[in-house]
Amino acid sequence: MNRFSFNQATAKYWPLPDVIEGCVTAGVRWVGLWREPVDEYGLARSAALVHGAGVGVSSLCRGGFFGADDWLDDNKRAIDEAATLGAPVLVLVCGGLTGRPLEAARARVAAGLEALVPYALDAGVRLAVEPMHPMFTADRSVVATLAGALALVAPFPPAAAGIALDTYHVWWDEQVFPLVAAAGDRIACVQLADWVLPLPADVLLGRGLPGTGCVEFPRFLAAVTEAGYGGPIEVEVFNAALWARPGEDILHDTIAAYEAVMASSRW
Amino acid sequence: MNRFSFNQATAKYWPLPDVIEGCVTAGVRWVGLWREPVDEYGLARSAALVHGAGVGVSSLCRGGFFGADDWLDDNKRAIDEAATLGAPVLVLVCGGLTGRPLEAARARVAAGLEALVPYALDAGVRLAVEPMHPMFTADRSVVATLAGALALVAPFPPAAAGIALDTYHVWWDEQVFPLVAAAGDRIACVQLADWVLPLPADVLLGRGLPGTGCVEFPRFLAAVTEAGYGGPIEVEVFNAALWARPGEDILHDTIAAYEAVMASSRW
């Protein structure tokens, strides 16, 4: 449980102070935060809340979207917010095609990273490129594989640029385990969610708690450990049925799912 | 137009005799057929129909599903049907996990191919492993990338085992153009469909006619030509709104989409 992190997106409608109180009560030491609810509660207030509660922020979601007009300013703000919250990692959802061919859109991501890396280094925040499932390539992230994410961050120091490994997005890749091994100290963030069928009408909300689908969690957890990752393990599940439940119940079931997965793992 | 092939799945509810008559009237020389409508019309009758009309069958869909109990007999039947129809290619949708981890499910595909290759060679039918979009990995095909498909067919002679390249399934892969070049004489079947947003509630039916989405068709067509492929080019679009229209209109618009894509291409 020392490494478990509750990503607040798993309980989308649970107010931030309640999330923190719930985590403290349950003995959860880490949370993953999102910019919108932090902004809604107030950045300084949010930082004071988590610091006062003794809860660590494992990551902030999200920067990226390099095709947006204000991408540079917005990503700098996101880095500042992560620093204020004490989050060592800013997860980047790198944006879709927005009118460009795939290669050109990926080149835009590379250029965006290059522009942000010095700023991130100064702030002490690590950028984490998140490969997203290829069903989101057109509209959310042209980074669709772990191989593609690793290639994008390779030119930069590992302290400035790593990858966010979400099992939901990468489990289908026959190369994923060799790639996790190759990722080594580029692994900046680990998130668990399961792939469950059928896909819902809104495929964004199709994730399941670990253990409810087909992802091989024991193998993933062993692989990231063998690759040298020893940081927090977030559970981040977007699921409309889960979101409809009371926050305490969601947290309870998320902890239970995490513990069951850890108990069946080799580490 | 000499290379255009109308895959009958693009007009799912158009009866086979009407498809063939429509193609003859429109000067279409190739069709892609599916086993279910062929079976419904009768295999011998279907073969006589296409042969009498002078229409070539570019491919038959589909074999595969190596996790099914009767996979061996069913795939042998599919090969026989392709031979009877004069289809040089049987497209394989290789099946999902059906309870196995990904690697084990892929091993099952490899074993299935090994069992079928001699039978396919005897029948003069080429097996075409179709990499399918990773949103189908769990339930339809554990072969999610062109790289994965090429690795599976590599042990077998190119005359027995190739790949089916459907733009819809592979466009998102940042390695797709180098992989098409590497595929060379393994390219057994080329199918065009576009990726359009938003994804519909049933993601199986989310495809668009070429030119309506974000796929780079000119680059794909140049790539398969440079790889040495000179066979028919199928258009195969699963789209509920398209299916609701009269068959003649679907064929007309499919030809128009194909011609527009070809006119904008480098070959």
CB-CB neighbors (< 8 A) of A106 in chain B: 174
pLDDT band for position A235 (cuts 50, 70, 90):
very high
Beta bridge partners of A34: A61
Q: Can you tell me the mean pLDDT for B119-124?
A: 98
Q: Which residues of B touch A107 (CB under 8 A)?
A: none
Quote the pTM value: 0.96
Q: How many CB pairs under 8 A join A and B?
A: 70
Which pLDDT belongs to residue A266? 59
Task: Give me the phi and psi of B50, to 5 degrees please.
Answer: -70, -40
Closest partner CB to A172 (pick from B137, B175, B219): B137
CB contact under 8 A, A97 and B214: yes
Beta-strand (E) ranges in chain A?
Answer: 4-7, 30-34, 56-64, 89-93, 126-129, 161-166, 187-192, 194-195, 207-208, 233-235
User: How crowded is the C-beta side of A14, counted as CA atoms within 13 Å?
Assistant: 24
pLDDT given at position B264? 86
Q: Kindly determine whether residue B174 and residue A133, on different chains, have CB atoms separated by under 8 Å.
A: no
For residue B267, is pLDDT > 60? no
Residues A212, A259 contacting (CB under 8 angstroms) = no
Q: Which of A152-161, A201-210, B81-90, B96-105 has the least mean pLDDT?
A: A201-210
Chain A environment of B144 (Cβ under 8 Å): 172-174
Q: What are the chain B neighbours of A179 within 8 Å (beta carbons)?
A: none
Q: Say if the Cβ atoms of B172 and A134 lie within 8 Å.
A: yes
B135·A175 Cβ contact <8 A = no
pLDDT classification of B200: cutoffs 50, 70, 90: confident
pLDDT category at B129 given cuts 50, 70, 90 is very high
Spacing of C-alpha B122 from chain mean position: 22
- CA of B219: which chain A residue's CA is closest? A101
Q: What is the pLDDT of residues B146-160, one digit of tens each?
A: 999 999 999 999 999
Give the pLDDT of residue B206.
87
Rounded to the nearest angstrom, the minimum Cα separation between B220 and chain A is: 12
Residue type, A197: L
Q: Cα(A184)–Cα(A150) distance, rounded to whole angstroms?
A: 10
Q: What is the pLDDT of residues A237-252, one digit of tens each?
A: 999 999 999 999 999 9
pLDDT in tens, B33-88: 999 999 999 999 999 999 999 999 999 999 999 999 999 999 999 999 999 999 99
Helix axes B43-53, B71-85, angle to 10 degrees: 30
| A104 contact partners, CB below 8 Å, separation of at least 6 | none
* Proportion of chain B above pLDDT 70, given as a percent: 99
Average pLDDT over chain B reads 96
Share of chain A above pLDDT 90, in %: 94
What does the pLDDT read at residue B266? 58
Token reading at A254: 């998320």
The torsion defined by the Cα of B84, B85, B91 and B97, in degrees rounded to 10, comes to -50
CB-closest option in A102, A175, A195 to B138: A195
Interface test with chain B among A103, A214, A219, by most B beta carbons within 10 Å: A214
Closest by alpha carbon to A254, among A203, A262, A222, A130? Answer: A262
Residue A47 has pLDDT above 90, yes or no: yes
ipTM (interface pTM):
0.95
- Residue-level pLDDT at B188: 98
**Which of residues B227 and B205 earns the better pLDDT score?**
B227
- Give the pLDDT band of residue B208 (cuts 50, 70, 90): very high
DSSP state of B210: T
Report, as an integer, the average pLDDT of B3-26: 98
**C-alpha to C-alpha distance for B79 and B87, rounded to whole angstroms:** 9
User: What was the pLDDT predicted at A140?
Assistant: 97
Among A89-93, B24-28, B224-228, B263-267, name the one with the lowest average pLDDT: B263-267
pLDDT value of position B163 = 98
Question: For residue A204, what pLDDT band results from cuts at 50, 70 and 90?
Answer: confident
pLDDT confidence of A205, banded at 50, 70, 90?
confident
Which tokens is B46 given?
């279907």
Task: Report chain B's C-alpha Rg in angstroms.
Answer: 17
pLDDT in the model for residue A206: 87
